[in-house]
Amino acid sequence: MSKLPAILVALGLATTAGSASATVSGDPENGKGVANLCVACHQADGSGKHIEGGESWPRLAGLNASYLAKQLHDIKDGSRASPSMMPFVNMLDDQKIADVAAYYSQLEPTSGEGGNNADEALLKRGEQLAERGDWSQYVVSCKSCHGPGNQGAGDVFPGIAGQHAGYIEAQLKAWKEGTRKNDPQDLMGSIARRMSDADIHAVAVWLANQNTASN
């Protein structure tokens, strides 16, 4: 601690670190402290929880930091409605949002829950939607945006492989019903509205069984 700043000055990094930038950069160390507010639901390892028949808590561990920060801002300004999250995001300023997003993004991703005991036909249908899409319904594959293995692509398309089935299903239904509409250009809404509830369930269960990747 006492030595570090001198090294940064010597390397010319101390000045750039303090200069104004368009986005607030997050410090995972500070974010760890902020995450004390979140462990009751998202768990100490960021794994969240699949809650059968209830509101699942999404896994945050290993998700892209910019994506997480965007969601926190959207929930705070009301463009993504979440009564469960609202009281907690209201305690966070821009710096704390950046810090806690940086913290969760560097945690080791954990496995998706809620995909056990699914029958073969359901999994096959889920795989088709995720990997190849279904042109008879005008549904493109999830991986065409969410990246190879549906493990995420850049800051905009979050990893959905290894997310909890209950959370994935709830999000797709929220887009279908128009209660979540914070996606750019209605990209998710236009897909979810073309999916039956059975297909939403199938793809959620299949994705929960897939491997995650860290960003």
- Can you say which residues are annotated as belonging to the binding site for heme c? 38, 41-42, 85, 142, 145-146, 188
Alpha carbons 58 and 69: distance in angstroms, whole number: 14
- Check if the beta carbon of residue 90 is closer than 8 Å to that of residue 76: yes
13 vs 29, which CB is nearer to ligand HEC? 29
What is the footprint of ligand HEC within residues 104-163 (CB under 6 A)? 129-130, 139-140, 142, 144-146, 156-158, 160
The answer for residues whose C-beta is within 8 angstroms of residue 103's C-beta and 6 or more apart is 26, 28, 29, 30, 31, 32, 34, 35
Instruction: Identify which range of 6-14, 17-25, 38-46, 110-118 contacts ligand HEC by CB under 6 A.
Output: 38-46
Please tell me whether residue 102 binds ligand HEC under the rule CB under 6 A. Answer: no
**CA dist list (Å): 21 to 24, 25, 42, 102, 105:** 7, 8, 30, 17, 21
Alpha carbons 15 and 38: distance in angstroms, whole number: 33
Please tell me whether residue 170 binds ligand HEC under the rule CB under 6 A. Answer: yes
Question: How many helices (H) does the chain have, and how many strands (E)?
Answer: 12, 0
16 vs 192, which CB is nearer to ligand HEC? 192
16 vs 84, which CB is nearer to ligand HEC? 84
- Check if the beta carbon of residue 31 is closer than 8 Å to that of residue 103: yes
Instruction: Identify which range of 7-15, 22-30, 110-118, 165-173 contacts ligand HEC by CB under 6 A.
Output: 165-173
Tokens, residue 2: 């006492």
CB of 20 to ligand HEC, least distance (A): 25
Which 3 state secondary structure label does DSSP give 153? strand
- By the criterion CB under 6 A, which residues form the site for ligand HEC? 34, 37-38, 40-42, 55, 57-58, 60, 63, 68, 70-72, 82, 84-85, 88, 92, 100, 129-130, 139-140, 142, 144-146, 156-158, 160, 168, 170-172, 182-184, 187-188, 191, 203
